[in-house]
Structure 1
Amino acid sequence: MRIAIVGYGAAGQSAALFLSAQGHALSVFEQAAAPGPVGAGFLLQPTGLAVLARLGLHEQALATGQRISRLYGCNDRGRCVMDMRYADHAADCFGLGMTRGSLFMLLRDAYADASRIHTGTRIVSVDPAGDWLCDSEGCRHGPFDLIIAADGAQSALRDMAPALVRRQPVYPWGAVWCLLPGECWAHVDVLQQRYGGAREMIGLLPVGRRVDRDGRWLTFYFSLPGAQLEGFDAAALDRLRERVAVLWPEALPLLASIDSPQQLNRARYRDVQLRRPAQGRLVFIGDAAHAMSPQLGQGVNMALLDAAMLADVLAEDTTPAAALRVYGQRRRAHLAVYQRLSRWLTPFFQSERDGLARLRDLGFGPLARMPLARSQMLKILTGTKMSWWR
C-alpha cells in the first residue's frame, strides 16, 4: 500500500519502522525543518520496552537509558504518598528513564529511509475524498491508500475530523522542566516526587545519557497553573527555588546551573478522546488520538503500542477499512482504562482542590498496601492493565 505518515515523533517513527519492514511504500511528513526531540524525559514502561524489542532496539535502549526500580513520592510533611516497586509486579520488571532525544535518535537511526522524510512540510488538511493531503503552502501529496495522523496533541488533522472528537480540552495546569546533570544524585534508579498539596509537584527522573552531552542526567519538573507558564520570568524562577528549598532541600543544589528562566521549558497538556480512531482512510495514533496528562507516564508507551497494533492488523491480509475497524476494537479497552484514570487522578496532583490532596495523602499509602489494590496499581504503573476487568 501507499501510506502517508504525518508527524515524526515516537508514534510516527515506530509506525514507519513497522510498516517499512512490511514492504509498504511510505511517505513521511514532518513540519520541522530539522526533526528532533520535543519534550521532557519520560519513563518507558515494560509495554513500551516490548515494542522496542520487536523492533530489535531493546538492548540499545537499555544502554542509553536508566533502569528505574521504584516510584516514590511524599508530601511536604514527609508523609509517604506513593511507594511502588517494579519487582513487586514481577521479579525481572523495571521501567526505563530516557531522554526524548535518545529515543528519537534510536528510532531515526533504525529507519533506512530517514533521509527521504519530507521535512519542513506542515500538513494541514485531507481532501474530501480522503486520499490526498494538502500542506500549508497549498501543495497536494498523494494519492494514498492510508493516512496515519501521528502529529501530536495539537494535531491539525484532528481538526479535519470533528465527528471523531469527543473531547480535547487543554488542562488548566502544566509544568516547567529541564535536564540536569545527575552524576551526584544518589537515587539513580528511583523516580522521586514531592507534593505541596495538589498545587505543587516536583519530580526528578533519572534518564541516563543524552545524545549531545556526556554523563548521566535527570529530568526535573515543577507543576504550575497554565496561566503562570506564559509569564515565567526571573521572579518566578526565584519563587521556584524558594519552594524547592522548602519542599525538597536535597534537590536544591541540582538547580545551581539554572540561572535564567529561559533554561526551563514549558509544557501544557491536553485531554484528547476520540469516539473512534479512524475515518475513511485516515487513522489517528499516539497523542493525536489520545493525549492525556502525564500522571500515569504512559504517553510514549501508548504511541509505541498503537504503531505495533496498527502494523499487526494491516498484516492480517484484509482491506484497509476492515483493518482500521479491527485496530479500533483492539485498542479500545486498554486506552479507555488509562484515559479515564489519567483524567481522574490529575486533580489529586495538579489542581487547587486542597481537600483532594488531603484525601490523597491519607488514603493512597494505605490503599497501596492492600494486596488486591497494590497488584492493580502495579499493573497500571507497568502499562499492563489491559481492561477494567484484567
Structure 2
Amino acid sequence: MGKTLDIAIVGYGTAGQALAVLLTRDGHRVQVFEQAAAPGPVGAGFLLQPSGLQALWQMQLLPQVLAHGAVVRRLYGETPCGRAVMDMRYAGLDARLCGIGMQRGALFSLLDAAWDSGDALHVDSRITAVDDSLQRVQDRHGRWHGPFDLVIATDGSASMLREQVQGTRLDRIYPWGALWCLLPRGDWQHVDELRQRYVAARKMIGLLPVGTRPGDDESRLSFFWSMPREGFHAWEQMGLEPWLEEIGTLWPEARERLAGITVQTQLARASYRDAVMDRWYRSRLVLVGDAAHSMSPQLGQGVNMALLDAIALRDALRAEADVEVALAHYQARRKAHAWLYQFWSRWLTPVFQSDRDWVARARDVLFQPIGKMPGGRGHMLRVLSGTQHGLFGKLPLEPEFLTALAAIAQRPAA
C-alpha cells in the first residue's frame, strides 16, 4: 500500500464516483469538485459488459447492480424488412457471460450511496484551471483549492483539463449524435436483448432493457434514435408527430413503446467526441474515463472503460509510493486495452452513422459472414463484451466473478 494522499477528483460522473469510493476506502483524503449544483445522472441507459461488471464485483457492488439491472444475452440488429445484420450472443463466447442493461440513474445512486462524502463533495464548482505546479485547482468562482498530491480529471469527453496534460493527438466532435429517453418496458417481448433497426447508416433505432432504479420499481427500456448533430434544429422545427409516424413506419413495435412521449423535451440530445491522447498524465495531473479516451458510442464501452480506469488507478497507487511512477503504470495498463476500442469505434461509426449508403450495403452483406469466419466471431464477441486486450490478448476474468455472473446469466428471462 502506498502512502496516504490528498487527492482532488474533478467530475462526479461514473469515473469520479468510482474513484471516490475506491480511494476513500484505501484511506486517501479525497475531495470531489462537480460543476452541477445538484449532481445527478446524464443520459438514459447503457450496457454493462463483463469487463465493467467485474470492476463492480471488485468494488463489492455487483449484488446491488444485479438487483436493478436487466440481464442481456443477445445483441441483435436488423433492417426494416427483417434482414439480420448483427446477431451476437454472449453464450457464443462463454455460457457464463451476459451483459446488464442499466439506467444511468441506478448506477449513479448505487455509487453515490457507496461513498460517504461528508463535506468532501463540492457542488457548483466547475474547475477551470490548474496552477503551474499542478497541485491546486481553481473553480469558476475564482476560488483556489489545494494543494493536492494528485489531481484526477474525470470531467468527461469535453474535459477542460485535457489540454493541461499536453498530449492531445486528436480531439474532435463526431458529426452524428442521438436522441435518448427512458420508456416503460410494459409487454416488450425482447426482455433480454439489445434490439436495433437500421435504415442504411442514415437512421438507427435502438431499444435496450435497463431494469429499475432505487425508488422506482418499474422496469424500463432505454430508447435511442441516431441523427446528425446539425439535424437537431430541423427535428425541433418539424414537430413530434411526423417523427413518430416515421418510427411507426420503420418499426411499429418501437412506436408503441413511445406512446407516452407527447413533447419533444422528453427526449435528451447527446453528442460525442473522439479524443486520442499520446499520454494520459503529466506530473501529478492524470486523465481518467472519457477525459482520457472519449469515443463514439458504437461499442457501448464508455461506462465500462471508466470503471476499469478507476480500478487500474487504484491498483497503481497501491503498488507504488511515487505518484508519477504509479501514473506511468496506470497509463501503460489502460492504454493497452483502450486503444483497440478507440480504433474500432472510429472505423465502425461510419458503418452505422453516416450518409454513405454503399458502406451500409457492404455492412448488411458482410457483417454476419465475417462473424462466422474462424476466429472472427470470437474476436467480435470479445470486442463487444469489453474483454479484448490488444490485437491478440484477453482481459482476464476472475473465476469467482464468473461464478457469480453465471448464476445470473443462466437465470430464465424475467
Residue 89 in 1 paired to residue 87 in 2? no
User: Do 2:30 and 2:120's aligned partners in 1 also have CA atoms closer than 8 Å?
Assistant: no
Residue 351 in 1 paired to residue 354 in 2? yes
Q: Which residue number corresponds to residue 38 of structure 1?
A: 42
Matching residue within 200, 206, 209 for 2:209: 206
Which residue identity does 1:16 align to in structure 2? A
Q: Which residue number corresponds to residue 279 of structure 1?
A: 282
Distance of 2:89 and 2:133 partners within structure 1:
51
Residue 261 in 1 paired to residue 264 in 2? yes
TM-score (norm 1): 0.97
The farther-off stretch of 238-247 and 55-64 is: 238-247
Which residue identity does 1:73 align to in structure 2? G
The farther-off stretch of 300-309 and 204-213 is: 204-213
Residue 381 in 1 paired to residue 384 in 2? yes
Distance of 1:372 and 1:264 partners within structure 2:
40
Matching residue within 166, 170, 174 for 1:167: 170
String of CA shifts for 1:54-88, please: whole Å, max 9, x gaps: 11100110010000000000012321000000111
Which residue identity does 1:277 align to in structure 2? W
Distance of 2:239 and 2:281 partners within structure 1:
43
User: Do 1:108 and 1:114's aligned partners in 2 also have CA atoms closer than 8 Å?
Assistant: no
String of CA shifts for 1:20-55, please: whole Å, max 9, x gaps: 111111111111111100012000000101111111
Distance of 1:115 and 1:239 partners within structure 2:
49
Change (3 A) 1:233 1:200: same
Q: Which residue number corresponds to residue 322 of structure 2?
A: 319
* Unmatched runs of 5 consecutive residues or more in structure 2: 394-414
Residue 136 in 1 paired to residue 146 in 2? no
Q: Which residue number corresponds to residue 224 of structure 2?
A: 221
- Counterparts in 2 of 1:1-390, with a 5 A limit? 1-113=5-117, 116-161=120-165, 163-233=166-236, 235-390=238-393
Figure out how many residues of one structure are paired with residues of the other and give that number: 389
Change (3 A) 1:127 1:135: same
Distance of 2:275 and 2:250 partners within structure 1:
32
Distance of 1:50 and 1:317 partners within structure 2:
23
Deviation at 1:159? Answer: 3.4
The farther-off stretch of 74-83 and 342-351 is: 74-83
The farther-off stretch of 230-239 and 296-305 is: 230-239
Identity %: 51
Distance of 1:181 and 1:27 partners within structure 2:
37
Distance of 1:51 and 1:215 partners within structure 2:
26
String of CA shifts for 1:261-284, please: whole Å, max 9, x gaps: 111100000011111110111000
Q: Secondary structure at the match of 1:245?
A: helix
Distance of 2:163 and 2:69 partners within structure 1:
35
Distance of 1:159 and 1:13 partners within structure 2:
23
Deviation at 1:124? Answer: 0.5
Which residue identity does 1:198 align to in structure 2? A
User: Do 1:234 and 1:260's aligned partners in 2 also have CA atoms closer than 8 Å?
Assistant: no
Deviation at 1:183? Answer: 1.9
Which residue identity does 1:235 align to in structure 2? M
Deviation at 1:237? Answer: 2.6
Deviation at 1:346? Answer: 0.2
Change (3 A) 1:40 1:230: farther
Deviation at 1:115? Answer: 5.2
Instruction: Tell me the C-alpha RMSD between the 2 structures.
Output: 1.2
Distance of 1:326 and 1:382 partners within structure 2:
24
Distance of 1:207 and 1:236 partners within structure 2:
28
